[in-house]
Chains A and B, each alone.
Chain A
Amino acid sequence: MSLLARLIGGVPARSLWCLGVLLVLLLVAPTLLGKYGLSVLILVLYFAFVGQAWNIMMGFAGQLSLGHALYAGVGGYIAAGLFFHYGIGPWAGVFVAVAAAVAAGSIVGYLGFRFSLAGVYFALLTIAFSEFTRIAFDHWGWAGGSGGLFLKVDATSDILNLRGGPLLFYYVILALAAGTFVLCRALLESRLGRYWLAIREDPEAAQAVGVPVLRCKMIAIMISAALTALAGVWNAFYYNNLFPETAFAMGRSIEFTLAPIIGGLGTLFGPIVGAVVLTGLGEIFTDLSEVFHISGLKQIFYGLALLVIVMYRPAGVWPWIADRFGFGEKRR
């Protein structure tokens, strides 16, 4: 019980109530929503989850990664490839996928952090690795090369191989998002979480007080890569296809960053609120661009949303809401 007590310690009761209601609503949502509504909610949870994973690096530890598509892509490809070639289901394949992504993250992290690349220079390194990997997958026959890798679309429910309809994928992504939310809360309350904040605030001072800076940054990128790989595996089995061109695209990496930036970097609810705002409004703009035959409205909306946030609410939407309604979570 002490773990639970630590997790909810200091949280206002009304926040806990709201959280409980939200969880119940999410659990029964599929019965309330139609097919379309459910597909939008799935996307919201996906971006909330992957945003949470990215936020561990940027929001908590202050390390800007613009190449997180690398971990999602590697994870997705490996799990999908194992299933496609050898019939190894994703529940087993996910371990290999996560291990590979963590290895990739360790390489990027070690090169960047050992040689003290910071800020934009580290971000460039993450982009470079994501690009290398895209080119490698373009030429890797096992992964289908540039032609892509396709999983057989199978509507029969086979939970053991993560095959099934939207309902299955909804509950899986809900479990991932909820689990990661709790994990992030636990991390923030831990000594490691404190060290991350110290590194984010002032790496020099953190080193001076004896924070093992390199180790903490490495743990951050490894956890973040592992979670992002889970998102990649889920994504591969949900969409049933993978192309290097999209899986490792710069645009995908950017997409991962939008929800936490708009919602509020370094907060627990930021990525969730950001995902609701972005995906909800993004879907409306997708529909509008179909109605008016103007392509790219969604991207313009993303750009404008970022612009407005950076100008008027640089801390994000969530800290502002939390403050106004007394939910008690501030950026730490």
Chain B
Amino acid sequence: MSTPLLTVETLDLFYGDAQALAGVSLEIAPGEIVAIVGANGAGKSSLIRSIHGIEKPARGHVRFDGSDITGWPSYRVCEAGIGHVAEGRQVFPNLSVLENLEMGATPKRARALEKQTLERVFAMFPRLAERRRQAAGTLSGGEQQMVAIGRCLMGQPRLIMFDEPSLGLAPTIVQEVFRIVRRLNEEGLTILLVEQNVMASLRIADRGYVLENGRIELEGAGTDLLTNDRVRQAYLGL
């Protein structure tokens, strides 16, 4: 494996007395899609939020592109090149689609490219171009997810972390979202995908980690995990 883009080393996170993450370590190489799967409450979101500086881990390190970004405030993590498509879509409901997208261009280097990136996003999601003046809260669930992804792209990330992008979406839209994730990867973005949809995410992932009760229990190539007996029993009901 080439030099990892993101390295997480023995991360511990507590919410009060409850331990959400226990010695979690992982690596993502540039250009990879890495899936983190696990049941509800396994610590998947906590992991993403710790990488992003929203939660402050008690121990461990997060390194991105050669710098130790542990404990950096979220906006600096974004500036370093990590994008975050948060759980539950989280668009700004009263702002227009365009305003939502513009809001994504927070890092300084992204502002200079705002116009070009916007065109790219509209080319990727023509629906958003049609509805650019509409309040984002009035869009369908799938369209809101497009806004959230487009907004993230506006920040010119090199790595995008997706937190449950398929949550609460209709099956056809879920497929569409996974197609988009793969397409972004083909365009050169590194992807960290956190999902309860084990089958779909391991299928598109180069590698995967299984998180249980805040610990990494298994890791391996996406296809290997899909054929792993334990994964099949616990997550795929096979």
User: Which residues of chain A have a CB within 8 Å of any CB of chain B?
Assistant: 194-195, 197-198, 201-202, 204-214, 331-332
B93 touches A201 (CB 8 A): yes
Counting CB contacts under 8 A, is B103 at the interface? yes
B107: chain A residues at CB < 8 Å are 210
Task: Tell whether A209 pairs with B102 under 8 Å between CB atoms, given A197-B92, A202-B92.
Answer: no
Task: Please give 5 more A-B residue pairs, beta carbons under 8 A apart, in addition to A209-B84, A210-B79.
Answer: A202-B90, A208-B85, A209-B78, A210-B155, A214-B73
Task: Tell whether A205 pairs with B73 under 8 Å between CB atoms, given A194-B103, A210-B78, A211-B106.
Answer: no
> Inter-chain contact count A-B, CB under 8 Å?
64
B75 touches A208 (CB 8 A): no
Closest residue of chain B to A210, judged by CB? B78
Question: How far is it, in angstroms, between the C-alpha of A331 and the C-alpha of B93 when the chains are bound?
Answer: 13
B73 touches A209 (CB 8 A): no
A209 touches B103 (CB 8 A): yes
A211 touches B75 (CB 8 A): yes
Closest residue of chain A to B155, judged by CB? A210
Question: How far is it, in angstroms, between the C-alpha of A160 and the C-alpha of B182 when the chains are bound?
Answer: 69
Question: How far is it, in angstroms, between the C-alpha of A197 and the C-alpha of B74 when the chains are bound?
Answer: 18
Can you list 15 residue pairs at the A/B interface with Cβ under 8 Å?
A194-B102, A194-B103, A195-B106, A197-B95, A202-B91, A205-B86, A205-B90, A207-B74, A208-B52, A209-B78, A209-B84, A209-B151, A210-B78, A211-B106, A212-B73
Question: How far is it, in angstroms, between the C-alpha of A310 and the C-alpha of B52 when the chains are bound?
Answer: 39
Task: Tell whether A204 pairs with B90 under 8 Å between CB atoms, given A197-B95, A209-B155, A212-B75.
Answer: yes
Task: Tell whether A205 pairs with B92 under 8 Å between CB atoms, given A194-B99, A210-B107, A210-B155.
Answer: yes
Task: Tell whether A205 pairs with B152 under 8 Å between CB atoms, given A210-B74, A210-B79, A214-B73.
Answer: no
Closest 10 pairs (CB-CB, A-B): A210-B78, A205-B90, A210-B106, A201-B92, A212-B75, A208-B86, A208-B84, A210-B75, A207-B74, A209-B104
Counting CB contacts under 8 A, is B54 at the interface? yes
A208 touches B102 (CB 8 A): no
Question: How far is it, in angstroms, between the C-alpha of A204 and the C-alpha of B86 when the chains are bound?
Answer: 9
Question: How far is it, in angstroms, between the C-alpha of A138 and the C-alpha of B194 when the chains are bound?
Answer: 57
Closest residue of chain A to B99, judged by CB? A194
Question: How far is it, in angstroms, between the C-alpha of A207 and the C-alpha of B49 when the chains are bound?
Answer: 10
Question: How far is it, in angstroms, between the C-alpha of A198 and the C-alpha of B78 when the chains are bound?
Answer: 16
B102: chain A residues at CB < 8 Å are 194
A209 touches B106 (CB 8 A): yes
Counting CB contacts under 8 A, is B3 at the interface? no
Question: How far is it, in angstroms, between the C-alpha of A211 and the C-alpha of B104 when the chains are bound?
Answer: 9
Taking the closest CB of chain B, its distance from the CB of A187, in whole angstroms, is: 16
Question: How far is it, in angstroms, between the C-alpha of A205 and the C-alpha of B86 when the chains are bound?
Answer: 7
Q: Mark B7-21, 1 if CB is under 8 A from A, else 0.
A: 000000000000000
Most buried by A among B54, B86, B92, B95: B92
A209 touches B93 (CB 8 A): no
Taking the closest CB of chain B, its distance from the CB of A19, in whole angstroms, is: 24
Question: How far is it, in angstroms, between the C-alpha of A210 and the C-alpha of B78 when the chains are bound?
Answer: 5
